[in-house]
Chains A and B, each alone.
Chain A
Amino acid sequence: MSADIFSLLLKATGQTLYMVAVAGLIGSLFGIPLGVFLATSGRGELFPAPTANRVLGLIVNAARSTPFIILVVAIIPFTRAIAGTSIGTTAAIVPLTIATIPFIARLVETAIREVDPGLTEAARAMGASPMQIVFKVLLAEARPGIASALTLTIVSLIGYAAMVGAIGGGGLGDLGIRYGYQRFMPDVMAIVVVVLIVLVQLVQSAGDRLARQFDKRNRPK
């Protein structure tokens, strides 16, 4: 493997990590609160707003059922408005983030719904406000689930970030397509795939370790 290819690989890996990190961060910033809202705004729940709950639920479903590559193309005007351009690594972050928000939201919603309702009741009986219940009970108790949710999100983002290479987003996917596929360089393709596998593996085991650390439910007596 030539030094050129190596530096290309390094650059592409950097771009992928950059896209994943920024989209993951902004996606969490919006996705986690949205997930909390979805989990707590049903009829008779902490912040009852059944209509908003249903509307947001529909939007989340719509976003999640749109194939990512179509989403990327469909929101090009929005991407241009935000990033100033629709091509390049930074521009790719916009659709990545948009796809991440509903993804995280649903996973966080599930994690929060798994918290025993008895705990919410106990906290209410102590005189906790709804916000205190969210922070001191729901988010605290759902930590292992949320850690797993974020792990899954980052793994999926690594995959999505490879796809935006197809529309000039750069990164490992871009490298694989342009060199490995279009220039018939199977060794480059193989290296790209290996790097992706290693990345995913690292993220998964780090996430699993974090989730285990948060989880105090099955400690030996």
Chain B
Amino acid sequence: MNMAVMHSRAQSQIEPQPGTGVPTTPMVEFQNVSKRFGAGGTGTEVVALEAVNLIVPRGSVTGIIGRSGAGKSTLIRLVNGLEKPTSGHVLVDGTDVAVLDEKNLRSVRRSIGMIFQHFNLLSSRTAFDNIALPLEIAGIDKQTIEKRVTPLLDLVGLSDKRNRYPSELSGGQKQRIGIARALATEPKLLLSDEATSALDPETTRSILALLQKINRELGLTVLLITHEMEVIKTIAHHVAVIDGGRIVEQGPTFDVFTGHKHETTQALLSGLAGMHLPEFLMSRMTDVAAPGSRVILRVVFKGENATEPMLARLGSDLGIEVNIMAGAVDEIAGRPFGMLVVSLLADGDQLKRARDFLADHGLSSEVLGYVR
């Protein structure tokens, strides 16, 4: 890839709060955080996180994506102090939670909601009582609890399930109760630990829509971890890609996914349209041009350019024959993004002119190989 895609990374460090225009501290900031398990003990030391620097902008939906075992779970648990870092600082709304004792952590945790892959609802409590639990824990009186829980049941669309037990609810309904419970203490930050991983695609979409609504309407910052591209693509404004305990890439979702420099990012993206070459092309492709061979080019369309008929103009303006081999147009973080694999009948000079032409119109291209 020959594009500067990380340009807005610096901007995201201090982002104005929507509406105010005043720069604020990020909601969460990891400063050089490392976490090792088994440190000091006799067993083998396992490095879960290594020198992690990460920003979660206020009011954003920030996603952390990685394979299982990459350190995502540890990372998210550092934010509410369920895990302590071996070194480094974890700032939540300016407070370093890494140095807080249990008692002080408890009050910080009340301002952070959390939802889980397996929902973690109490089987012995009804939907209402599950949502009420964090309020009971905070020592809030019964009338106030009633006043808070009822609108939350409404918000997640389960007013009619008020007196149902979790075993009487579907997975999606359980997660909605989990979300309502996480919102009960009116937190400023919502942590989502693989919240849709146990749900089917349709339910996943409805839960993501709910999270999006909460982010927009309540202005709640959302930090989520997932191994599903779909989740990031749909709702995350910012993304960090984690692999082997390290953040290998981070920035605005569209830029990271359309730039996809790092191999881990590429691997995660492999399900995305246009990333895979069809087998018939792969098997015939060579690295060097031969007389009369066609160039295989991957053209990446981003945002506004995705809809312009650039390929047609290659033919009409430059007289280069273009043949589309594979590809699709998708949507990432609400912006169109497409990748097309095309073959051109062009010699070195024509190829250069074609690529310059594409670059002039904001499309990046990459030579994948040649076929005869």
B82 pairs with A125, CB closer than 8 A: yes
- Give the contact-size bracket for chain B: 20 to 34
A126 pairs with B116, CB closer than 8 A: no
With beta carbons under 8 angstroms apart, the residue of B107, B116, B120, B124 that contacts A127 is: B107
Is A121 part of the contact surface with B, judged by Cβ < 8 Å?
A: yes
Say yes or no: A127-B134 contact (C-beta < 8 A), given A118-B118, A141-B124, A218-B167: yes
Q: Which residue of B lies closest to A117 (CB)?
A: B120
- Using A127-B105, A132-B137 as known contacts, list a sample of 10 further A-B pairs with CB atoms less than 8 Å apart, ordered by residue number in A: A121-B116, A123-B133, A125-B112, A126-B110, A126-B114, A126-B133, A127-B107, A127-B109, A216-B165, A217-B167
Is A149 part of the contact surface with B, judged by Cβ < 8 Å?
A: no
Cα-based distance from A141 to B123 in the complex (angstroms): 7
A119-139: which residues lie under 8 A (CB-CB) from chain B?
119, 121-129, 132, 136-137
Among B105, B122, B124, B138, which residue has the most Cβ atoms of chain A within 10 A? Answer: B124
Q: Would you mind naming 25 contact pairs between A and B with Cβ atoms under 8 Å apart?
A: A118-B116, A119-B122, A121-B120, A124-B109, A125-B82, A125-B114, A126-B114, A126-B185, A127-B107, A127-B137, A127-B185, A128-B106, A128-B137, A129-B106, A132-B137, A136-B136, A136-B137, A140-B124, A141-B123, A143-B124, A214-B124, A216-B165, A217-B167, A219-B167, A221-B168
- Give the contact-size bracket for chain A: 20 to 34
With beta carbons under 8 angstroms apart, the residue of B124, B134, B168, B170 that contacts A126 is: B134
B323-355: which residues lie under 8 A (CB-CB) from chain A?
none
Is A187 part of the contact surface with B, judged by Cβ < 8 Å?
A: no
Name A residues whose Cβ lies closer than 8 Å to a Cβ of B: 116, 118-119, 121-129, 132, 136-137, 140-141, 143, 214, 216-221
**Chain B residues with CB below 8 A from A119, complex form:** 120, 122
B170 pairs with A140, CB closer than 8 A: no
**Chain A residues with CB below 8 A from B138, complex form:** 127
Shortest CB–CB separation between residue A43 and chain B, in angstroms? 10
With beta carbons under 8 angstroms apart, the residue of A116, A125, A129 that contacts B80 is: A125
A121 pairs with B82, CB closer than 8 A: yes
Q: Which residue of B lies closest to A122 (CB)?
A: B120
B116-144: which residues lie under 8 A (CB-CB) from chain A?
116, 118, 120, 122-125, 133-134, 136-138
Q: Which residue of B lies closest to A143 (CB)?
A: B124
**Chain B residues with CB below 8 A from A217, complex form:** 123, 167
Shortest CB–CB separation between residue A117 and chain B, in angstroms? 9
Cα-based distance from A9 to B195 in the complex (angstroms): 62
A216 pairs with B109, CB closer than 8 A: no
Cα-based distance from A136 to B133 in the complex (angstroms): 8
- Digit string of B77-109 for contact with A (CB within 8 Å is 1, else 0)? 000101000000000000000000000011111
9 closest pairs, A vs B, by CB? A127-B109, A122-B120, A126-B134, A216-B165, A127-B110, A127-B106, A125-B114, A118-B120, A219-B167
B137 pairs with A219, CB closer than 8 A: no
Is B169 part of the contact surface with A, judged by Cβ < 8 Å?
A: yes
Cα-based distance from A121 to B106 in the complex (angstroms): 13
With beta carbons under 8 angstroms apart, the residue of A126, A132, A221 that contacts B109 is: A126
Cα-based distance from A124 to B77 in the complex (angstroms): 11
Cα-based distance from A214 to B108 in the complex (angstroms): 33
Say yes or no: A216-B167 contact (C-beta < 8 A), given A127-B106, A140-B124, A141-B122: yes
Shortest CB–CB separation between residue A119 and chain B, in angstroms? 6
A122 pairs with B123, CB closer than 8 A: no
**Chain A residues with CB below 8 A from B109, complex form:** 124-127
Say yes or no: A137-B122 contact (C-beta < 8 A), given A124-B82, A126-B109, A126-B137: yes
Shortest CB–CB separation between residue B349 and chain A, in angstroms? 62
Shortest CB–CB separation between residue A118 and chain B, in angstroms? 4
Cα-based distance from A214 to B133 in the complex (angstroms): 18
With beta carbons under 8 angstroms apart, the residue of B112, B137, B185 that contacts A123 is: B137
**Chain A residues with CB below 8 A from B167, complex form:** 216-219, 221
A220 pairs with B168, CB closer than 8 A: yes
**Chain A residues with CB below 8 A from B108, complex form:** 127
